[in-house]
Amino acid sequence: MAALYVAFFCLENAVRDLISERLLERKGINWWDECVSPKIKRDVESLKVKEEKNKYHAQRSPALIGYTMFGNLAQIIINNWQEFSDLFPDQAWITSRFNDLEMSRNIIMHTGILPDIEIERIESIVRDWIRQVG
């Protein structure tokens, strides 16, 4: 499961980087305010406030996108489809892969064990993502 944890860490942060770089390039420095839904912004702010109360502990990220949940990333891409449509076949491609990944991710991140068939699914989706996005 350790290798899967690393794979998810890398993929999740690569998706965050893709979103922030693409939207910064196309929408400018205020991309977060303009492109992220009010609900996601509220959830992020809530997490930041919670973390700020625990001053003894390091913050998870200097960037707001670092506070998003995995499922939020697909929502941001879909809600800004015009900025990402050149990278993906369609929105259903994003939705189906993120839904499958999120189920497996939650098991791994909460110290669960996945059967081989689920590990193969993750590996296949990650390969698809790399071939699709680069």
Cα separation, 95 vs 33, in Å, equals: 23
Residues 33-54 have pLDDT tens digits of: 999 999 999 999 999 999 999 9
Q: Is there a contact between 76 and 31 (Cβ–Cβ < 8 Å)?
A: no
pTM of the predicted structure, to 2 decimals: 0.93
Residues 60-114 have pLDDT tens digits of: 999 999 999 999 999 999 999 999 999 999 999 999 999 999 999 999 989 899 9
Number of domain units in the chain: 1
Cα separation, 57 vs 7, in Å, equals: 25
Range of the domain at 95: 2-32+70-133
Classify residue 9: in a domain, yes or no.
yes
Classify residue 65: in a domain, yes or no.
no
